[in-house]
Amino acid sequence: MSPLPIGEIDMSTAPILDIQGLSVEIPTDAGTLKAVRGISLSLNRGETLGIVGESGSGKSMTALALMNLLTPSARRTADCINFDGKDLTHVSEKELASKVRGQRISMIFQEPMTSLNPVYSIGRQLTETMTLHRPVSRAEAEKRAIYLLEKVGLPDPASRLKQYPHELSGGQRQRIMIAMALMNEPELLIADEPTTALDVTIQAQILYLLQDLQKELGMSMILITHDLGVVSRSADKIAVMYAGDIVETGTAVEVLTNPQHPYTRGLMECVPGYRGDEAHRLGSIPGIVPSMTGTITGCAFASRCPRAVDACKTDIPPTKQLGPGRTYVCHDPESTRDQSAREQQSHVNRAPFDPGKAKGESVLTVDNATYTFLVRRGMFGKRKPLKALGNVSLDIRKGEVLALVGESGCGKTTLSRIIMGLKQPDSGSVRLGEHEISTLPAGQRARMIQPIFQDPYSSLNPRKTIGDIIGRPLVVNRIGSSKEQLAKVHNIMEHVGLPRRVFNSYPDQLSGGQRQRAAIGRALIMDPEIVICDEPTSALDVSVQSQILNLLLDLRDELDLTYLFVTHDLSVVQHMADRVAVMYLGEIVECGDRRQVLSHPKHPYTRALLDSALSISPELKVPAPRLAGDFPNPINRPSGCSFHPRCPIAEQQCKEQVPQAEIIDTTFVKCWKAETSQHQVKHQ
Amino acid sequence: MATRDVVGDVTIAAVETPPNEEELGLGLSPSKAALKRARTHRGLKIGFGILLVMAVFAIFAPWLAPYDPYLQNLPMRMLPPVWMEGGSWEYLLGTDHLGRDYLSRLIHGARISMFIGIGAASIGAIIGVTLGLIAGYYGGWIDQGVNFLVTCQLAVPSLLLIMALVFVIGQSVTVVIFVIGATHWVFYLLVVRSATLRLRELDFVAAAQAMGCSKFKIAVREVLPNLSNQIMVIFTLEVAVAILSEATLSFLGLGIPSPLPSWGLMIAEGKAAMFFQPWLVILPGLALFVLVIAINLLGDGVRDVTVTHRRN
């Protein structure tokens, strides 16, 4: 960053990567998309640079441009991309492929499920990266592969080489991707959202692993993520990207403890739990990332900025230097300097809510529900039982937000479908007030329970207009005349913050946040008592997530709703929930008051989940994972307590006997060691 | 309603304007918006225009055709069209091997060919889409049953089946349409079934269940509209296939009874003289080609017009 006189450059302190003026343009039908707009970055040896931004900010494009892996139609221009003193813009594609990519710079992609080739064995894919360009024998490469598989924490590495990707879980595949990236001892590792598709406990394992390996091998790393918690724990330096530009840089501690750019501040305010444990309104960034086609006059963030003044809309903002490597790009208008702080303050005061308000009678009771899938391999194969739910009991009380937490595959979705009455439990019952839910006619059930799904891209029928979609429950159940239905749709659209003009739009034409608002509108139009939110924000950007969470809480107060909030994100739980139920492998292992459960977890699994949740704390590193291994396959359920193979405090008893449910200080817990583990917490 | 106090959330609405509001027809009702787009869609207009002209010729064939299509004039047989050497203005497109006016036969043939092509493709669509939707949506033993039916259909040579059916039922245009339709539904079924299998797992189906829709309603009102593109594509292909398989049948003497003019039959009859009088095959072939192109254009246009995509 700060230019040194030529003679003083020392190889060990010279940045390994120095990018100046990198731009990426992609021609599209609607005009030229300027994905990256002349950014400059530098990275020292052994350092981790976190690139943070919402979707569409150009962070992945930057990485791909660096590796020259952009789509063929894209145009890359740069003053220089110096990698270890060599300008990659002047290196031929052939040399890049054989000498740099996968050799000196490696990359890990987001989706471990699709980034391994399903028809080749793990061993072949691992050794290929090495034998392809280097004079090493296959045996040598295999030795290295086994060494690395052991390093990334896969048990029995030698036999893994013969396995195929489909035999491994997502977390295991991502470990293999990491091993593959490290085969040639790269000097720079680019990790593009390496843990976004993974569960929290696995995320913590992978991040810890990367942190460990980096230290050991002295690699430099670029970590691209949207998750401020992840970046705060893993990165030394941070670059915040917005609309293809870097708006703020600095060390992780500087940027995250004293953010200067209003966008960085806004992003942090959006993160649940950033302002501490107590429930308050989340901050939000209004609007969406502007269209990346055409030129942006003035500051790209001006239309969404709480501090914007006239100059922001017309003049290109200056880059302000606060120290070496500490910059931000903003007019930073004097007149509105206190604005954002005041704005946030008023947000807190404006709509306070009381999480302990709900103490009513239970509106829905699940009693000893079990559900078993029969999984069949092939047409004539034997059916194998897969126990998705085992003896789940749960009650939801009027007006509360009950969070159902667990990793993927734990049975959350099955349970929520049973509660909605879409699946019948094999045994046990689900009662809605006085009625057994399976005996209710569909229409009546629909008026009491409605769902909101995770992915607003699949929960809205792409062939129907928004107005049709929201009004459909009324039409199906013949509620009111068509005029009344129309009035109701407009009314609910206003409630959920959808502009009237999208009434006749198709879902494709809406942003993710707007679609989720439409899904919420459809769920609420029949005035249900209970809304089942199945990960309603995990497909959305943080700034949109905070808008949706705020909206859900507002609507609860306005319409007297009860939520069952299915999620894997503990910071969202902390923000939203009154009570928490933690699920593991089809069973509820702990259930109780939110504060009680989150501050004094009694089950070791809850504690592990809490440890894995990464809050924004740049002073801290990724903690050593508490949980060993992977989420087990529910077909082969472990004996005794199903958690014992991963449990850090398991004893012989846990392997043999199924733990009994007990109540400790109003918290329901299923663990042989609950009492002792609680003592441990107290001693810590 | 109480005005809500969420400044940020309201602003979002104002900012999130898709860039070309006019083109996307935001705010208009879907049917009006579709009409508006239809008026500016060139492919749709061309396809629709060609089909309209062909339909007019087909309907008013007796008045538009210069000659009786059955009238034989053996001395004038095998005349080339007017622009070729030996052609005459009397017979614009020449005559066939029996001296019948080719233009009149083409015009009358449009009637039968369009009828057979569209009719048979529609019957196939009804069978295939219904079975595919049922199999894909309900799954289980129903799916296995339908799959067994497909295997049977694919295992029995369809020509043999058609021959058997025609022999049993008798020979007429209606029978030909039904028989061709009843043997050309497998494509629809395979495509619809696999698309339904994918669609039924999506959350909007679960949402429809949660709002109390019956299975039938979900299949027809939620899933089926999402299949229209695929069905349209297969339909346009099957129209051509149906017309050609009518030609095959006619060639074997099982299709349209001989003096009746149809494009397929004309191609079949012209095949013998293809080397020396190529127009006998080229002209009906060209007519068929234009018909299929028009249906394709129309199908693509309808798709573009009924569904809007965010194009940026």
- Structure confidence by residue, pLDDT tens digits, A88-101: 888 888 888 888 88
What's the confidence (pLDDT) of residue A296? 75
pLDDT tier at A4, thresholds 50, 70, 90:
very low
Q: Which residues of B touch A349 (CB under 8 A)?
A: none
DSSP conformation class of B101? B
What's the confidence (pLDDT) of residue A351? 40
Which chain B residue has its CA at the smallest distance from A557's CA?
A: B4
What's the confidence (pLDDT) of residue A649? 82
Interface membership of A30 toward B (CB under 8 Å): yes
CB contact (8 A) between residue B13 and residue A288: no
Q: Which of B5, B11, B207 sits opposite A459 (nearest CB)?
A: B207
Interface membership of A287 toward B (CB under 8 Å): yes
Q: Residue for token digits 């809480």?
A: A553
Q: Please say whether the beta carbons of A36 and A70 come within 8 A.
A: no
Interface membership of A352 toward B (CB under 8 Å): no
DSSP conformation class of B255? S
Q: Please say whether the beta carbons of A588 and A394 come within 8 A.
A: yes
Chain B nearest-CA distance from A636, in A, is 25
Whether the predicted pLDDT of A352 surpasses 90:
no
Higher pLDDT, A533 or B72: A533
Beta-carbon-side half-sphere exposure of residue A535 (alpha carbons within 13 Å): 18
d(CA B212, CA B193): 24
Q: Express each pLDDT in B221-265 by its tens digit.
A: 999 989 988 898 888 888 878 887 887 887 777 777 767 888 888
CB contact (8 A) between residue B204 and residue A461: yes
pTM of the model: 0.81
Chain A nearest-CA distance from B224, in A, is 10
SS3 content of chain A, % helix, strand, coil (to 5): 35, 25, 40
pLDDT tier at B309, thresholds 50, 70, 90:
low
What would the mean pLDDT of A206-217 be, rounded to a whole number? 87
Residue A530 buriedness (CB in 10 A; 0-12 / 13-18 / 19+):
buried
Q: Express each pLDDT in A558-583 by its tens digit.
A: 888 999 999 888 888 888 888 999 99
Q: Express each pLDDT in A504-562 by its tens digit.
A: 888 888 888 889 999 999 999 999 999 999 888 887 888 888 888 989 988 988 888 99
Higher pLDDT, B41 or B53: B53
Q: Which residues of A touch B204 (CB under 8 A)?
A: 458-461
Interface membership of A462 toward B (CB under 8 Å): yes
Interface membership of B252 toward A (CB under 8 Å): no
CB contact (8 A) between residue B12 and residue A288: yes
Tokens of A144: 């290295």
Whether the predicted pLDDT of A5 surpasses 80:
no
The residues, any chain, with a CB within 8 Å of residue A54's CB and separated by 6 or more, are: A226, A242, A267, A289, A541, A542, A543
Q: Express each pLDDT in B271-299 by its tens digit.
A: 888 888 888 888 888 988 898 888 888 88
Q: Measured between alpha carbons, how far is residue A54 from residues A171, A226, A268 in Å?
A: 24, 6, 12
Q: Which of B2, B5, B19 sits opposite A291 (nearest CB)?
A: B19
What's the confidence (pLDDT) of residue B261? 85
Whether the predicted pLDDT of B188 surpasses 90:
yes
Lowest mean pLDDT among A20-29, A83-92, A362-371, B301-310: B301-310
d(CA A154, CA A167): 13
CB contact (8 A) between residue A547 and residue B8: yes
Chain B nearest-CA distance from A336, in A, is 18
DSSP conformation class of B164? H
Interface membership of A304 toward B (CB under 8 Å): yes
Give residues 516 to 545 of A whose Cβ lies within 8 Å of B. 519, 522, 526
Tokens of B252: 């074997």
Interface membership of A116 toward B (CB under 8 Å): no
What's the confidence (pLDDT) of residue B16? 41
Higher pLDDT, A684 or A366: A366
d(CA B5, CA A50): 36
Higher pLDDT, A374 or B177: B177
What's the confidence (pLDDT) of residue A223? 94
Q: Please say whether the beta carbons of B191 and B132 come within 8 A.
A: yes
What would the mean pLDDT of A108-129 be, rounded to a whole number? 86
Whether the predicted pLDDT of A501 surpasses 70:
yes
Query: Within its chain, how far is the Cα of B260 from the centroid?
Result: 22
CB contact (8 A) between residue B309 and residue A519: no
Q: Which of B5, B203, B312 sits opposite A291 (nearest CB)?
A: B312
Backbone angles phi, psi at A134, to 5 degrees: -125, 150
What's the confidence (pLDDT) of residue A353? 44
pLDDT tier at A284, thresholds 50, 70, 90:
confident
Chain B nearest-CA distance from A518, in A, is 12
What's the confidence (pLDDT) of residue A349? 37
Q: Express each pLDDT in A34-58 by its tens digit.
A: 889 889 999 998 899 999 988 878 8
Give the E-state strand segments of A398-542 in sequence order. Answer: 401-405, 427-432, 435-436, 449-452, 530-534
Q: Which residues of B touch A476 (CB under 8 A)?
A: 208, 211-213, 217
Q: Which residues of A touch B312 (CB under 8 A)?
A: 28, 30, 291, 293
Q: Which residues of B touch A462 (CB under 8 A)?
A: 226, 307
What would the mean pLDDT of A206-219 be, rounded to a whole number? 88
CATH 3.40.50.300 in chain A, residue ranges: 362-581
Q: Considering chain A, what is the average pLDDT of its residues? A: 83
CB contact (8 A) between residue A554 and residue B4: yes
Query: Of A414, A432, A426, which is closest to residue A366 (Cα–Cα)?
Result: A432
Interface membership of A358 toward B (CB under 8 Å): no
Query: Of A145, A165, A156, A199, which is closest to residue A625 (Cα–Cα)?
Result: A199
Q: Which of B12, B30, B226 sits opposite A547 (nearest CB)?
A: B12
Tokens of A427: 């045994």
pLDDT > 70 in chain A, percent: 91
What's the confidence (pLDDT) of residue A684? 38
Interface membership of A288 toward B (CB under 8 Å): yes
Give residues 186 to 215 of B whose Cβ lies within 8 Å of A. 202-204, 206-214
Size of interface A-B (CB pairs under 8 A): 145
CB contact (8 A) between residue B15 and residue A288: yes
Interface membership of B25 toward A (CB under 8 Å): yes
pLDDT tier at A650, thresholds 50, 70, 90:
confident
Tokens of B172: 């007429």
Which chain A residue has its CA at the smallest distance from B205's CA?
A: A459
Tokens of B214: 């019956």
What would the mean pLDDT of B181-200 be, rounded to a whole number? 92
Interface membership of B151 toward A (CB under 8 Å): no
Q: Which of A451, A506, A554 sits opposite B6 (nearest CB)?
A: A554
Q: Which residues of A touch B208 (CB under 8 A)?
A: 472, 476
Which chain A residue has its CA at the smallest distance from B141's CA?
A: A379
pLDDT > 90 in chain A, percent: 19
Q: For chain B, report the end-to-end CA distance as a whole number of angstroms.
A: 35
How many C-beta atoms surround the C-beta of residue B126 within 10 A?
13
What's the confidence (pLDDT) of residue B10? 34
pLDDT tier at A451, thresholds 50, 70, 90:
very high
What would the mean pLDDT of A481-487 be, rounded to a whole number? 91
What's the confidence (pLDDT) of residue B6? 37
Q: Which residues of A touch B14 (CB under 8 A)?
A: 499
Can you give the C-alpha Rg of chain A in angstroms? 26
pLDDT tier at A246, thresholds 50, 70, 90:
very high
What's the confidence (pLDDT) of residue B122? 95
Q: Residue for token digits 């699946």?
A: A423
What's the confidence (pLDDT) of residue A248? 93
Higher pLDDT, A403 or A169: A403
Which chain B residue has its CA at the smallest distance from A490's CA?
A: B1
Chain B nearest-CA distance from A683, in A, is 44
CB contact (8 A) between residue A504 and residue B309: no
Backbone angles phi, psi at A587, to 5 degrees: -130, 150
Q: Please say whether the beta carbons of A206 and A198 come within 8 A.
A: yes
d(CA A2, CA A9): 12
CB contact (8 A) between residue B308 and residue A504: no
Q: Residue for token digits 């007017």?
A: B82
CB contact (8 A) between residue A287 and residue B18: no
Whether the predicted pLDDT of B200 surpasses 60:
yes
Backbone angles phi, psi at A618, to 5 degrees: -65, -20
pLDDT tier at A456, thresholds 50, 70, 90:
confident
Q: Which residues of B touch A420 (CB under 8 A)?
A: 210
What's the confidence (pLDDT) of residue A594? 86
pLDDT tier at A673, thresholds 50, 70, 90:
confident
Most confidently modeled of A34-48, A164-178, A341-355, A644-658? A34-48
Mutate to test the interface with B, among A458, A479, A545 (most CBs of B within 10 A): A458
What's the confidence (pLDDT) of residue A221? 93
Q: Measured between alpha carbons, how far is residue A351 from residues A124, A168, A357 in Å?
A: 58, 47, 14
CB contact (8 A) between residue A476 and residue B29: no
Across the strands, what pairs with A374? A385
Q: Which residues of A touch B229 (CB under 8 A)?
A: none
What would the mean pLDDT of A342-368 be, rounded to a whole number? 59
d(CA A196, CA A205): 13
Question: What fold is seen in the domain A362-581?
Answer: Rossmann fold (3.40.50)
Give residues 220 to 249 of B whose Cβ lies within 8 Å of A. 222, 225-226, 228
How many C-beta atoms surround the C-beta of residue A270 within 10 A?
23
Mutate to test the interface with B, among A447, A476, A482 (most CBs of B within 10 A): A476
